[in-house]
């Protein structure tokens, strides 16, 4: 187990490093030098060159990368070319927004997805077909379209929830929850559909295992076979599916943040990409990767812990 | 000498099959139609669109559907229908780039990984990293570098997605690569590349089509999402995502605008998914061991009807005696698997159900416990046990009987135990349930049971998970589990087949002593005549869903009356003593016919050395003349008088099978297990 954890930790570290290099290269491939971006149109070439020189833009790429990496390890991701603000500080205020969105959507997806999937697998017949059709529809509807419809239904037609904006938790927990409601539900629709499919398939596979017959042969009550033994067997792929879903939702929050005007990481990527704000793009890509990889690692360890074969070895 | 290669599944055959499956599913058909309409409409758009994409109609801004504008207009009075279809070709086309790159790269990676272990190690690591990346964020960073060059972005998206495709394909590619004909091709000197292309790739064809359809849908959604947040084709060029974005600005004053583009996008995605799902549906997924609630309800209704229809049990057999009368088991669709099977098991005796696999032995055994797999049911006959007809019992009735009166041991002990729970948990919870004991008492009983089945370090085994113990040990645990409710009848489905030869003997002697000590009876399913001779008092030989001969073990083994029994004995190396071991063991030509191919007459006639014109009529099971035995052969008397023997012939099928192969392996060669 310790061996396994070490290996996974090294993999996670490697992943972040690969992405850091990738982000660095992408940013260098962006059109326009940082000087030009920072000073805007109308700046003299001399001024641009001077700024590029002082930012170290003309140094060899390797030197620049390790300088960035050294700073990043100390928590300094540079400053924005547009408004000069510290990228780290900016992302620190944005991370909680996206994290609440993605975590909320993942939890909601997991709850509804597991309930729907288990019901479809266990009940079968017409209900299974009904859930299958419903889930198929939800998978096909784009999140941004669903989001707009939700705004129309719950904010325009009946002002149950605020249409846009984000209230930090420490300002008002209640308003925080209300401001998150629509974006979280929007993201959770597709997520729940995905997890429902995964759960249904895993449950059906579990019920095909021969040990289920042994359990029936020893008069185990049906509820216990379904919800103790089969669900326990199905839990491994279900948790793996939830981990995948979190990755998707964390990235997918870009759309929800844009739609609901949430000041999160997604909005930061979207604006910094549009304005060619190199340090900001680089910082947000790396931070997003770190979060996703870390959460993935935890969920993966959880999966392995659920598996007696790996736990014992 | 290199043997001729068995035919590789041909690509054409596969696509034919897939095409059939696609058109057979209503949603798959609808999806194909919609996609065909979309592609045709978008390619011919310049010729039929009522308006140009930038035509503005200021008399109808933000209008709903009208005669002039079928799907309404946007905030500049532009025709929605025209804009949707003008941008359709590019949307569909660029999404297809993702499919080609993603599925193409994923398949190549899977082929490479299946080819060499080293490549697999590297590729699996890399794809693992790729799958744990926040893809959307990376794509946006790429857009920062390359701008909104949609084809390029969709190609890079394909690269990111290929990791997932690789995951899906790897298992299948590896199993194809490990096929015997691929080994043969390697020996034949075919290069790895040629093997991948000729033998592995065709086998992946269906998966490739399925994944392509699903990834096409993903590509459409992501492309629209990017356009929605402003990374679509440059304005004023229309795009579906961009149109939904501008519609979302008017959700307050013109909510209709959300509908047309959203519906077209959703329907296109639905269609692609429907095609993927229709093709991807596994044709014969394994049967569930616990049918869904809907099926159980139906089954309960059938059982009640059957119970009402059958007359009350006349002359019920004595307590502890099992009496099966005219039992038939069939697939729900109607194909019979077992027809008109009758036998009795006296208390304290062992009945052997013998025959090749595919003869309905296991189905017969499972029906005794009401544990037939999903989709298979008793269609006729009675199973009389302690005054009840189990064939018409509800699942609820059976729950009172399973474990407590009739218990099961199955073929593969490792798969019979739940891998997620310790042996101790599984055993004590069964004991607590079946014997209504408290926790501590059940723990002691579990320990006692394990010792009774010959496990020495019972305490350690109780704490172990099934994967931590050996096969023989697991079968002992499974037997202990079966004994936990002190049953009067044990149904043992090939309990020694999956075990090593030395362990087989131990398990058989354990079963024999258990029968002696507890006085329970056993129905032993086996295809090993050695097991029959060893432990069974009575034998019922089954062939193609029927009992063909039935009687006391001694008389059946010494004086077989049915040609099939004769053939089985002639083919069994154990039955021939060393000094009169023939030069070549006999074989039975051909194989057990599939249930749908059963003839109306004698079902064995096609493989029988003695078959004649009399064998085409249905054959009843009649007294054989030896003690209480019964036999189903019109020529039985004639053969008995002539004393014919089953001769070893140079059958084409078994020509090269060496004589040392034990009988059960010999039988396995032509067997197709129905269970």
Q: Tens of pLDDT along A212-238?
A: 999 999 999 999 999 999 999 999 999
Cβ pair B145:A15 closer than 8 A: no
CA distance A184 to A192: 11
Phi-psi region of A165 (alpha: psi -120 to 50; beta: other; left: phi over 0): left
So what's the pLDDT on residue A51? 84
In sequence order, the β-bridge partners of residue B385 are B322, B388
Under an 8 A CB cutoff, do B292 and A212 touch?
A: no
Residue among B134, B244, B468 whose CB faces A292 most closely: B134
Most distant pair of Cα atoms in chain A: their distance: 86
Tokens standing for A203?
């449950």
Q: What is the pLDDT of residues A73-109, one digit of tens each?
A: 898 888 888 888 899 999 999 999 999 999 999 999 9
What percent of chain B clears pLDDT 70, i.e. is strictly above it? 90
Is A115 at the interface with chain B, CB within 8 A?
no
Three-point CA angle B669, B674, B675, nearest 5°: 115
B14-18, B88-92, B152-156, B588-592: range with highest mean pLDDT: B152-156
Q: Nearest C-alpha of chain A: how many angstroms from B188? A: 39
Find chain A residues with C-beta within 8 A of B478's C-beta.
214
- Map out the domains of chain B with their CATH numbers: 81-280 (1.10.3720.10), 545-674 (no CATH)
The pLDDT score that the predictor gives to residue A49 is 85
**Cβ within 8 Å, pair B145-A30:** yes
| Domain residue limits, chain A | 19-74, 93-312
pLDDT of residue B4: 38
Is the pLDDT reported for residue B8 higher than 50? no
* Residue contact A248–B135, C-beta within 8 A: yes
Contact partners, residue B567, CB within 8 Å, separation at least 6: B586, B588, B607, B609, B646
| Residue of chain A whose alpha carbon sits nearest to that of B374 | A208
Asked whether the predicted pLDDT for residue B393 surpasses 80, the reply is: yes
Residue in A11, A305, A245 with CA at minimum distance from that of residue A108 = A245
Q: Which of A142, A194, A233 to probe the B interface (max B CBs under 10 A)?
A: A142
Query: pLDDT tens digits for A42-65?
Result: 778 888 888 888 888 888 889 999
Alpha carbon distance B75, B77 (integer Å): 6
CB contact under 8 A, B371 and A27: no
Confidence of residue B288 (pLDDT cuts 50, 70, 90): confident
A296 and chain B: CB distance < 8 Å anywhere? yes
A126 contacts in chain B (CB < 8 Å): 294
Lowest mean pLDDT among A305-309, B460-464, B595-599: A305-309
Q: Alpha-carbon distance A32 to A38, whole Å?
A: 10
- Whether residue A216 and residue B289 make contact (CB cut-off 8 A), yes or no, is yes
Determine, for residues A289 and B134 on separate chains, whether the beta-carbon distance falls below 8 Å.
Answer: yes
Chain B CA closest to residue A243:
B132
Enumerate the residues of chain A whose CB falls inside 8 A of the CB of residue B467: 308-309
Highest mean pLDDT among B421-430, B526-535, B555-564: B421-430
Proportion of chain A above pLDDT 90, given as a percent: 48
- Give the CA distances from residue B496 to residues B55, B530, B540, B571, in Å, rounded to whole numbers and listed in that order: 80, 11, 19, 20
Predicted confidence band of residue B485 (pLDDT cuts 50, 70, 90): very high
Looking at residues B40-64, what average pLDDT do you find?
A: 81
CA dihedral A5, A9, A14, A19 (to 10 degrees): 130
The mean pLDDT of B569-588, rounded to a whole number, is 68
Contact B288 A148 (CB under 8 A): no
Q: For residue A159, list chain B residues with Cβ-Cβ distance below 8 A.
A: none
Check if A43 contacts B (Cβ < 8 Å): no
Q: How far is the alpha carbon of A6 from chain B, nearest alpha carbon, in Å?
A: 15
Q: Is the pLDDT of residue B388 over 90?
A: no
Residue A60 contacts B, CB cutoff 8 Å: no
- Reported as a single tens digit per residue, the pLDDT across B396-455 is 889 999 999 999 998 888 899 999 999 999 999 999 999 999 999 999 999 999 998 989
| Residues of B whose CB is below 8 A from A274 | 230
CA distances from B32 to B14, B19, B96, B213, B270 (A): 18, 11, 16, 11, 10
Mutate one of B141, B239, B437 to test the A interface: name it (highest A CB count within 10 A): B141
Rounded mean pLDDT, B576-592: 68
pTM for the predicted model, two decimal places: 0.86
A-chain CB neighbours of B399 within 8 Å are: 219, 221
Contact B140 A308 (CB under 8 A): no
| Six token digits for residue B526 | 């086996």
Distance between CA atoms of A28 and A17, rounded to whole angstroms?
17
Interface touch A289/B125, C-beta < 8 Å: no
Query: B292 and A128 in contact by Cβ < 8 A?
Result: yes
Look at residue B670 in the predicted model and tell me its pLDDT: 34
Tell me how far CA of residue B16 lies from CA of B9, B19, B205, in angstroms.
Answer: 12, 5, 11
- Asked if A187 is an interface residue toward chain B (Cβ–Cβ < 8 A), one would say no
CB contact under 8 A, A213 and B371: yes
Task: Please give the residue that has the higher pLDDT: either A195 or B610.
Answer: A195
Give chain A positions within 8 Å (CB) of B433: 218-220
Using alpha carbons, list the distances in angstroms from residue A273 to A280, A311, B164, B237: 8, 44, 26, 21
With CA atoms as reference, the chain B residue closest to A250 would be B134
Q: What region does B519 belong to: left with phi over 0, alpha with psi -120 to 50, or beta?
A: left
Q: Which of B133, B295, B430 sits opposite A124 (nearest CB)?
A: B295
Place of tokens 């099926």: B295
B interface test, pick of A122, A189, A218 with most B CB neighbours within 10 Å: A218
DSSP symbols for B571-588: T-TTTS-GGG--SS----
List the single residue in A with minimal CA-CA distance to B406. A217
pLDDT band at B667 (very low <50, low <70, confident <90, very high): very low
Please count the other Cβ atoms lying within 10 Å of the Cβ belonging to residue B320. 17
DSSP string, B114-177: HH-HHHHHHHHHHHHHHHTS-HHHHHHHHHHHH-S-HHHHHHHHHHHHHHHHHHHHHHHHHHHH
Q: Please identify among residues 66-95 of chain A the ones whose CB lies closer than 8 Å to any CB of chain B.
A: none
Q: Cβ contact (<8 Å) for B258 and A276?
A: no
- For B31, the enclosing helix (H) or strand (E) is helix B26-43
Which pLDDT score, from 0 to 100, does residue B314 have? 64
Name every chain A residue with its beta carbon within 8 A of the beta carbon of B274. 136
Q: Is the pLDDT of residue B2 over 70?
A: no
Confirm or reject CATH 1.10.3720.10 for domain A93-312, answering yes or no: yes
């Amino acid at each position: 187990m310790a061996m396994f954890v070490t290996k996974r930790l090294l993999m996670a570290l490697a992943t972040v490093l690969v992405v850091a290099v990738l982000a660095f290269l992408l940013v260098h491939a962006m059109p326009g030098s940082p000087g030009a971006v920072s000073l805007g149109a109308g700046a003299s070439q001399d001024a641009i060159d001077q700024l590029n020189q002082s930012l170290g833009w003309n140094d060899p790429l390797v030197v620049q990368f390790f300088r960035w990496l050294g700073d990043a390890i100390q928590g300094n991701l540079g400053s924005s070319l547009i408004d000069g603000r510290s990228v780290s500080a900016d992302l620190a205020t944005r991370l909680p927004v996206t994290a609440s969105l993605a975590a909320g959507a993942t939890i909601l997806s997991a709850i509804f997805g597991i309930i729907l999937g288990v019901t479809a697998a266990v009940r079968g017949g017409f209900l299974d077909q009904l859930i299958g059709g419903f889930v198929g529809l939800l998978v096909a509807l784009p999140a941004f379209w669903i989001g707009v419809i939700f705004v129309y239904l719950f904010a325009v037609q009946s002002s149950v929830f605020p249409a846009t904006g984000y209230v930090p938790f420490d300002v008002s927990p209640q308003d925080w929850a209300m401001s998150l409601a629509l974006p979280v539900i929007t993201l959770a629709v597709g997520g729940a559909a995905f997890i429902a499919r995964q759960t249904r398939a895993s449950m059906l596979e579990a019920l095909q295992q021969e040990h289920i017959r042994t359990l029936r042969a020893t008069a185990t009550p049906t509820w216990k076979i379904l919800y103790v033994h089969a669900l326990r067997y199905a839990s491994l792929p279900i948790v793996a599916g939830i981990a995948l879903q979190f990755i998707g939702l964390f990235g997918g929050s870009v759309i929800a943040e844009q739609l609901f005007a949430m000041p999160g990481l997604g909005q930061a990527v979207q604006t910094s990409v549009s304005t060619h704000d190199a340090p900001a793009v680089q910082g947000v890509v790396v931070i997003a990767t770190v979060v996703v990889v870390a959460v993935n690692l935890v969920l993966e360890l959880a999966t392995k812990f659920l598996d007696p074969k790996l736990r014992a070895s | 000498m290199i043997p001729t290669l068995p035919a590789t599944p041909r690509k054409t055959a596969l696509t034919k099959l897939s095409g059939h499956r696609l058109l057979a599913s209503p949603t798959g058909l609808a999806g194909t139609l919609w996609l065909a309409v979309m592609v045709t409409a978008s390619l011919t758009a310049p010729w039929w669109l009522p308006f140009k994409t930038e035509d503005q109609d200021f008399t109808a801004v933000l209008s709903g559907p009208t005669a002039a504008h079928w799907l309404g207009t946007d905030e500049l009075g532009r025709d929605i229908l025209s804009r949707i279809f003008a941008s359709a070709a590019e949307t569909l086309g660029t999404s297809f780039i993702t499919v080609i790159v993603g599925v193409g790269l994923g398949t190549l990676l899977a082929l490479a990984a299946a080819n060499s272990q080293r490549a697999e190690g590297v590729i699996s690591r890399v794809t693992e990293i790729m799958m744990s990346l926040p893809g959307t964020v990376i794509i946006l960073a790429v857009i920062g570098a390359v701008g909104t060059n949609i084809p390029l972005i969709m190609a890079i998206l394909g690269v990111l997605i290929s990791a997932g495709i690789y995951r899906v394909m790897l298992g299948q590619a590896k199993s194809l690569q490990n096929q015997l004909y691929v080994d043969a091709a390697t020996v034949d000197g075919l290069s790895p590349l040629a093997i991948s292309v000729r033998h592995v790739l065709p086998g992946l064809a269906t998966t490739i089509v399925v994944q392509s359809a699903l990834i096409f849908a993903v590509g459409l959604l992501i492309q629209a999402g990017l356009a929605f947040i402003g990374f679509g084709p440059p304005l004023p060029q229309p795009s579906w995502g961009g149109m939904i974005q501008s519609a979302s600005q008017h959700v307050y004053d013109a909510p209709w605008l959300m509908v047309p583009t959203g519906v077209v996008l959703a329907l296109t995605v639905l269609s692609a998914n429907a095609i993927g799902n229709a093709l991807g549906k596994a044709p014969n997924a394994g049967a569930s061991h616990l049918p869904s609630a809907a099926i159980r309800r139906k089954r309960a209704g059938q059982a009640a009807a059957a119970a009402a229809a059958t007359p009350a049990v006349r002359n019920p057999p004595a307590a502890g005696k099992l009496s099966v009368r005219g039992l038939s088991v069939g697939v729900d669709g109607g194909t019979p698997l077992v027809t008109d099977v009758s036998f009795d098991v006296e208390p304290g005796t062992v009945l052997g159900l013998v025959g090749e696999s595919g003869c309905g032995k296991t189905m017969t055994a499972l029906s005794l416990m009401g544990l037939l797999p999903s989709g298979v049911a008793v269609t006729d006959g009675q199973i009389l046990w302690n005054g009840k007809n189990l064939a018409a019992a509800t699942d609820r009735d059976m729950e009172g009987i399973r474990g407590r009166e009739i218990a099961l041991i199955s073929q593969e002990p490792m798969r019979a135990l739940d891998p997620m729970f310790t042996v101790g948990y599984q055993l004590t919870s069964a004991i607590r349930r079946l014997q209504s004991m408290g926790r501590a008492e059940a723990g002691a009983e579990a320990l006692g049971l394990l010792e009774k089945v010959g496990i020495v370090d019972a305490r350690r085994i109780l704490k172990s998970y099934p994967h931590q113990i050996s096969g023989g040990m697991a079968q002992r645990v499974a037997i202990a589990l079966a004994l936990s409710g002190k049953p009067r009848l044990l149904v043992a489905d090939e309990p020694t087949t999956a075990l090593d030869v030395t362990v087989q003997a131990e398990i058989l002697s354990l079963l024999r002593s258990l029968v002696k000590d507890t006085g329970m009876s056993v129905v032993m399913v086996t295809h090993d005549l050695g097991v029959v001779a060893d432990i069974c008092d009575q034998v019922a030989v089954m062939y193609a869903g029927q009992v063909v001969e039935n009687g006391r073990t001694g008389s059946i083994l010494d004086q077989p009356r049915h040609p099939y029994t004769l053939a089985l004995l002639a083919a069994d190396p154990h039955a021939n003593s060393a000094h009169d071991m023939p030069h070549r063991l006999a074989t039975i030509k051909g194989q057990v016919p599939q249930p749908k191919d059963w003839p109306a007459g004698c079902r064995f006639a096609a493989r029988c050395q003695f078959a004649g014109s009399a064998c085409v009529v249905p054959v009843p099971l009649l007294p054989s003349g030896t003690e209480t035995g019964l036999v189903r052969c019109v020529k039985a008397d004639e053969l008995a008088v002539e004393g014919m023997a089953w001769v070893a012939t140079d059958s084409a099928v078994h020509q090269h099978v060496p004589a040392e192969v034990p009988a059960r392996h010999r039988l396995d060669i032509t067997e197709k297990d129905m269970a």
